[in-house]
Structure 1
Amino acid sequence: MSDSTRFAGQILGKFVAGSAWADIAAPLRHEAKRSILNHLGCALGVAQDPAVTTALSVMRAFSGLPAATVVGQGARLDPMSAAFVNAIASNLLDYDDTHLRTVIHPAAPLAPALLALAEQRGFSGAAVLHAFLLGGEVECRIGNAVSPGHYARGWHITSTCGAFGAAAGCARLLGLDAERTWHAIGIAASQAAGLVENLPTAAKNIGVGNAARHGMLAALFAEQGYKAAPAAIEGPLGWARATGDACDIGAITEGLGSDWEIGRNTYKPYPAGIVFHAVIDACLELRDSIGVPPEAIARVTVAGDALLLARGDRVVRNERDARVSIHHSAALGFIRGRAGVADFEMPAVTDPALAAFRAKVVALLDDSLPRGAATVTVQLADGREARTTVTAPRGSIERPMSDAELEAKFRDNAAIGGFVGRADRQIEAIWELEAAAEIGPLMALLA
């Protein structure tokens, strides 16, 4: 049977099971380490957040044998429970990685499952990195195959496609053959869920946490012989049609193994939705160029694509709203001249100066702009006008964060979480992960 007549899961199963670490190019291997570094830093930064400690409390009551580390908590749970809590932590501040075409955050549902399973079963660092790349590729390619209709219908694509990525990555760690890997991906299709409507609430966190543990569960069932329907993804009553439009099989198969979607992963300099980075950069640029106090600004117009407006044209009531708000992003750029973690917390939400400036911001649709771009126009009280367009914000593929910038971001997050004294050792262990015989020492540093 040729690949053109195979089912999507069958093609992906063959790809995952047949991949060789020796064939993975050095730049892609390094990108996997960058992703893990960014992921773990984000998780450490929220170690004291009630959303994380509450998740730990809930899962601890039902946990099996404590075999996997909960990042930043001094606690161990069973692998599925640890993966659940760690996935919540990584994604909590919208500070994690992003595959822009799909707006999937690849690491949050994937890396926690791999790290927990590897810690329990003693897999090497190289095995984790390899599984991360393969699971991330599955995640992003299935996302490509159902975008943009899937997200537009209200499915939270990080949670849904994340379950596929975690299933594929865990199947690789477990050494499953092509057929059982295929079944793991198919089993995940029955568990892939999460709603965009819930993004401003803690229910979003549960969706991301479930993606990690459900993907692992799918692989464990496949390991024991459970099977899924051949067309669980693209069939007439399969996952893709149930949650959107017909699946674009070509988006899954074309260039598989040579043109890596996970290699297009990006990292955020600001703890906000990726589509707001151009807004922040544009406002910072205009703040510097026009050189007037905020009270001299009468109106700010932010133009962008439909996703920017759908996600960000909102009233800001809490921290979650702030992280996905056009109005708050613009206010930070002009009022504070920065956009760090503290600038999206409740004191910033209730700051009278920021609230007053948010009321000056108007959002407009501009279909000519690509995803991730924004045009900001400032109208001054004296009638003057200034405008700038940002199509490649900081952190994008065109302007990627350097290793040094990712290390600085990690240290900042570690300090927020209370782990500044360990940050250098943690960073060193992550960069050396490929040579690690097992990941226990790294996880001990993160505990």
Structure 2
Amino acid sequence: MTAFDPQSVTHDMAHFALDLEWATLPDKVRREAPRAWLNWVACTVGAARTPAMEAAARGVLLMESAGEVGLLGRSENASVSNAALLNCLGSSSQTYDDTHLATITHPTGPVAAAALAVACKRAGAGQPVSGRDLLVALVAGLELECRVSCAIAAGGGSLGWYMTGLSGGIGAAAAAGRLLGLNHEQMVWALGVAAAQAGGFRATHGSMAITYVPGMAARNGVAAAYMALGGFECGSIAVDGRNGLLQVLTGSNDAGLIRAELGTRYEFLNNTYKPYPCGIVIHPAIDACLELARNEHVPVEDIESVALRVHPDALNLTWRKLPDTALDAQVSLFHWVAAALVHRAAGLAQGELDCVLDPRVRALQARTQAEAISTMADNEAEVIVRLKDGRVGSRHVRDATGSVTNPMTDEQLIEKFRSLVSPSLGEAGCTRLLQSCLNLEHAPDASAIVALSREHTSVEA
């Protein structure tokens, strides 16, 4: 293959990103894109004052004194690339962001943050991006990010790689490049430059840096699009060529899963939204524990032991037992199982440090064992609780809440939005921001959402 091989998959990807039109998209796609946006805004605004966001914003502002692009839910401005970094970082800081479960990719964060950053910069130059145009860019980026993730996962890429860092920049570049009006050649360059910046590994889990990897993808995608706009060239083989992204990660150049039915079948429709603020592979076990705790009225003090049967990814990714910090607990199967049984809930409060260190929760974790079952689906788990008097209670969940086979409803997403946003904006401010998200398709300027997210009003009685 030559550096500019016309058969490279980046040409197909560029055509797809540039040729999309809202009016011709399938109804399911036009319904799902606003849902992804709604969930992302809720996660970002709701986490605007988390310790990770506070530290990241301080760090960025130590590098640059000011910028022209606003941050959701915060008063500061940053440069276009660092605004994308921070807004994406915030959306993942409570581990409440969406997940493409088949590949453990968090697709919307990098793409939405990149698109919003470009929309804000364009609005500042008197060239606002309409809500419909932003949604089309979102679809382009989400679809390419998910397809690249599928190709990496199918090729046997190590689970230690943080998938969002590998594919998120490509999706972000596609969205940003479309909003910047790149031509085909420039889009090929942008996708290549984004692929060249792929990186991130899961050893960052359990620390603030778990949020930096998707944030880095958003920033890199924006930078790639602007560099391409400026004439910065990249060969077309960065994704599927010799020593390209796929070959380096998987040993193969097979881009078949990126190309297959591109433009007619939408992989991002297999994206899911989280009902619980923790690693998605934990969710089936949480469902089972909540059913036991609420319906069987299992008395925690009478539990002798807990046995978990879970998909292998649950132990591969969330193996931490007896975590000592809230960040470690976000990716601890054992913490969330114990917390759900003790508190009969699995919300933000159950991820706070006082719950992590609750002696009842920790004692139950110590009495919990987990077994990986290779035949289980990724949205399946079984929880078996043995009581001191010999009784046994169990629940087997096959379609976890929020999974592709049991997705969150619009009403559940709106309830999640309100629970995350109203503490900072109050009920009235939350409602205004919610309506803005629900009406995005008809908005003349998509960047107006930033100002709405900064309206600090008192919480109404």
For normalisation by structure 1, the TM-score amounts to 0.95
Between the two proteins, what is the percent identity of the paired residues? 34
Distance 2:259 2:25 in 1: 18
| Aligned residue in 2 for 1:208 | 214
**How far off is 1:289 after superposition?**
4.3
| Aligned residue in 1 for 2:283 | 277
**How far off is 1:247 after superposition?**
4.2
| Aligned residue in 2 for 1:295 | 301
| Aligned residue in 2 for 1:37 | 38
SS for the counterpart of 2:304 is strand
Distance 1:145 1:291 in 2: 45
| Aligned residue in 2 for 1:54 | 55
| Aligned residue in 1 for 2:121 | 120
When residues 204 and 149 of structure 1 are mapped into structure 2, their CA distance, relative to the original with a 3 A threshold, is farther
**Is contact 1:189–1:233 with CA below 8 Å preserved after alignment?**
yes
**Is contact 1:294–1:334 with CA below 8 Å preserved after alignment?**
yes
> Paired residue for 2:228, among 222, 233, 239?
222
When residues 418 and 317 of structure 1 are mapped into structure 2, their CA distance, relative to the original with a 3 A threshold, is farther
SS for the counterpart of 2:100 is coil
SS for the counterpart of 1:72 is coil
Corresponding letter in the other structure for 2:132: A
Distance 1:153 1:275 in 2: 13
SS for the counterpart of 1:144 is helix
> Paired residue for 1:243, among 236, 239, 249?
249
| Aligned residue in 1 for 2:458 | none
**How far off is 1:16 after superposition?**
0.9
Q: What does 1:132-147 correspond to in 2, within 5 Å? A: 132-147=138-153
| Aligned residue in 1 for 2:342 | 335
| Aligned residue in 1 for 2:272 | 266
> Paired residue for 1:168, among 164, 174, 180?
174
**Is contact 1:68–1:76 with CA below 8 Å preserved after alignment?**
yes
**How far off is 1:184 after superposition?**
0.8
SS for the counterpart of 2:193 is helix
| Aligned residue in 2 for 1:356 | 363
| Aligned residue in 1 for 2:408 | 401
**How far off is 1:305 after superposition?**
2.0
**Is contact 2:67–2:79 with CA below 8 Å preserved after alignment?**
yes
**How far off is 1:245 after superposition?**
3.6
* Number of residue equivalences: 444
Distance 1:331 1:12 in 2: 45
Distance 2:326 2:308 in 1: 21
Q: Find out whether 1:21 has 2:22 as its counterpart.
A: yes
Distance 1:345 1:58 in 2: 24
Distance 2:424 2:306 in 1: 35
| Aligned residue in 2 for 1:369 | 376
| Aligned residue in 2 for 1:184 | 190
Corresponding letter in the other structure for 1:265: N
Corresponding letter in the other structure for 1:73: R
When residues 303 and 149 of structure 1 are mapped into structure 2, their CA distance, relative to the original with a 3 A threshold, is farther
Corresponding letter in the other structure for 1:438: D
The answer to which of 428-437 and 203-212 deviates more is: 203-212
**How far off is 1:24 after superposition?**
1.1
For normalisation by structure 2, the TM-score amounts to 0.92
Distance 1:273 1:250 in 2: 29
- Runs of 5+ consecutive residues of structure 1 not aligned to the other structure: none
| Aligned residue in 1 for 2:112 | 111
**How far off is 1:285 after superposition?**
1.5
**How far off is 1:176 after superposition?**
1.4
The answer to which of 142-151 and 28-37 deviates more is: 142-151
- Runs of 5+ consecutive residues of structure 2 not aligned to the other structure: 123-127, 455-461
> Paired residue for 1:438, among 420, 445, 456?
445
Residues 165-222 of structure 1: CA deviation (Å, up to 9, x unaligned) = 1011111111212222121111111111111111111222222211111101111111
**How far off is 1:8 after superposition?**
1.6
